[in-house]
Amino acid sequence: MNAPLFITGTDTDVGKTVLTVLLVRVLRELDLQPIAVKPVSAGDRADVRLLALAAGRRASLDELNPFHFRSPLAPLLAARQEGRPSRRTAVLAFLRKKIRGSAGRPVLIEGAGGLLTPLGEGFSARELIADLRAIPIVVAVNKLGVINQVRLVLAALPPAALRRTLVILMSTASPDLASRTNIVLLKEFFFPDRIYPLPRLRSKTGPAQAALSPRLRASLIQLLAAAGISSARRIRPIAKPGRQIAPARSAAAPS
């Protein structure tokens, strides 16, 4: 059974949902029928709707996102406002049920906010990653300052999960000198083969419906293979003649 993939990030609005949706789409293309959930959220549920659309299932939002709170705050504060605190045991029970029922299918868990955003009483994504022995996928925007942000998240991860962690750098609309050089320096502080820039998703239709370029699709398959998805390992991405697709060659990624 594959370990669940836990998509977290350096902050809110860094591209966690975009990446999760794209991974779900590629896994469906590989006929692996993934399970994708966002157990905790606060405020708008647009992210959960995108997950449901990408998965192509008629699951209700509550099935994908059972711990939702109306106020756009850190989930812990939003839960306290509503007088119904979110408990670690309840969130873990939901996730473990999904994992047990997956029958070997990939399970993707999207966090809320950054790694240490309080999701409930006494826990964040860090504790859930440790409890589930999940593979962390850390999403960050590739801009000036990202090296510090990524290093802080890596330092806060459970030590046992660090070697399995993947770092994804998401591009901005206008790459600059920092975005072109960040990955080179970041490789000095983390395993070079675990850092992945992705081509930018150039579409106005959104990640759940946009056409995927061959380069973006190949990068996503490489990422899944690095995360231990066995079926993705057997697929050799096709590169254009003279161009090698490698984890650390480009600093562009989807927004």
CA–CA gap between residue 23 and residue 30 (Å, rounded): 11
CA–CA gap between residue 25 and residue 210 (Å, rounded): 10
| CA atoms lying within 13 Å on the CB side of residue 134 | 27
Could you say which of 38, 143, 204, 240 is catalytic? Answer: 38
* Contact by Cβ (8 Å): 72, 81: no
CA–CA gap between residue 37 and residue 51 (Å, rounded): 7
| 38 is annotated as an active-site residue | yes
Scan for tokens 């398959």, then name that residue: 221
CA–CA gap between residue 226 and residue 125 (Å, rounded): 21
3-state SS record for 17-49? HHHHHHHHHHHHHCCCCCEEECCEEECCCHHHH
Residues marked as catalytic: 38
